[in-house]
Amino acid sequence: MESFLKQWPRVDRAALIASLQTLGPESRPVLKNLSRAEIYRDIHGQGGLFFVADMADELGLKPGMRVLDLACGGGTTAVFLAKRYGVQVWAVDKNEMDEGKLAQRAQDAGVGGLVVPVKAEAHALPFAMEFFDAVFCLNSYFYFGTDDLYLPYLLKFVKMGAKICVGSPCYRDELPSNPRPELLVEFPDCLAVHSPAWWRRHFEKIGIVLVLKSVCHPQSRIFWEDWLRQWLETRDPADMSPGEREGLLAFLQLLAADADGFVSHLLLVAEKSAPPAPSPSQYYSA
């Protein structure tokens, strides 16, 4: 990677692509027959539908289950979950949600009756208590979920025993006080990504969930590399806007600086084990 960075911006694109690890649809049976473009389309993070399939497995999705796709962006994952697992998905996002567009996408995919687009803020969810059988949250939870009061709020909407699965970029350990600047991509948002151990403690301390798993995804490095590979395969850096080129360079520098898997992906699975206690925050906050 270092040698390619020295060539930047006149990088040998084919050689750089060849240097990056890759994943194929055959690695997850549920992705059979999907193209790489479909696996990555409109997903804002590394791993694409590879990561989504692993999260779906963790949730044990079964036809008919009610799933909250929290901060779903444009709703790609909601359509995928509905189509591949036969679940009903309420797709919630406050910024990127175009309800009409997502409804049409779901319709075109043959799951119009299974996907409900909802433009809403994560702290103002318009659902009945104990409505959901599962919560799926990809590349988003750190934007709002580091608030100690958020998880008890969210859990009001899920049934006892329901699972929540959070997947997102993370650091293997907490950032040191003096981190290498290459590790701070998307600063200051990256300060909220945290380590699996931090997230475990954050979830466990409220005493109403059982954390079944909070780990660095074992294929994290491949997720990063395959995602960059897909980026480079579909776009020539020469044709990118300066901002995109800068973003690509930042991620290449990040991976080059990370020799030992410090930059990773969180895979957290927790199960609601007790009702949230009534508390002042339920009235004064969310």
Ligand X SMILES: C[S@@+](CC[C@H](N)C(=O)[O-])C[C@H]1O[C@@H](n2cnc3c(N)ncnc32)[C@H](O)[C@@H]1O
Q: Give the separation between CA 43 and CA 39, rounded to whole angstroms.
A: 8
Binding mask 115-134 for ligand X (x = CB under 6 A): ------xx------------
Pick from 8, 131, 143, 198 the residue near ligand X by CB under 6 A: 143
Number of residues that bind ligand X (CB under 6 A): 17
Residue 133 near residue 66, CB atoms below 8 Å: yes
* Closest distance of CB 47 from ligand X, Å: 9
Nearest residue to ligand X by CB is: 73
Nearer residue to ligand X within complex by CB, 20 or 71: 71
- Residue numbers 46-105 binding ligand X by CB under 6 A: 71-73, 93-96
> Which of these ranges, 38-46, 125-133, 195-203, 272-280, lies near ligand X under the rule CB under 6 A?
38-46
**Residue from 50, 144, 199, 203 in contact with ligand X (CB under 6 A):** 144
Q: Quick one: which of 25, 45, 117, 152 contacts ligand X (CB under 6 A)?
A: 45
Q: What phi, psi does 277 have (nearest 5°)?
A: -70, 145
In the bound complex, what is the minimum distance in angstroms from residue 70's beta carbon to ligand X?
7
Closer to ligand X by Cβ: residue 16 or 224: 224
Restricted to residues 186-245, the positions that interact with ligand X (CB under 6 A) are: none
The nearest distance, CB 151 to ligand X, in angstroms, is 14
Task: Kindly state the tokens that stand for 136.
Answer: 């799926």
Site of tokens 């996408």: 105
Helix (H, G, I), strand (E, B) or coil at 104: helix
59: part of which helix (H) or strand (E)? helix 48-59
CB of 227 to ligand X, least distance (A): 12
- Binds ligand X by CB under 6 A, chosen from 9, 14, 44, 285: 44
The DSSP bridge partners found for residue 268 are 166, 214
Asked if residue 112 lies in contact with residue 106, where contact means CB atoms within 8 angstroms, the answer is yes
8 A C-beta contact, residue 72 and residue 141: no
Binding letters toward ligand X, positions 267-286, x by CB under 6 A? --------------------
Closest C-alpha among 97, 100, 80 to residue 89: 80
Q: How far apart are CA 204 and CA 116, in angstroms?
A: 31
Residue 182 binding ligand X, by CB under 6 A: no
What is d(CA 44, CA 59) in angstroms, rounded to the nearest whole number? 21
Q: Give the ranges where 213-241 is alpha helix by DSSP (H).
A: 220-234
38 binds ligand X (CB under 6 A): no
* Rounded CA separation 140/166 (Å): 8
Report which of 3, 17, 9, 2 is spatially closest to residue 242, judged by C-alpha positions: 9
Beta bridge partners of 170: 264
Indicate whether 43 belongs to the interface with ligand X (CB under 6 A).
Answer: yes
**Region of 106-114, 139-147, 182-190, 227-235 interacting with ligand X (CB under 6 A):** 139-147
Residues in contact with ligand X by CB under 6 A are 43-45, 71-73, 93-96, 121-122, 138-140, 143-144
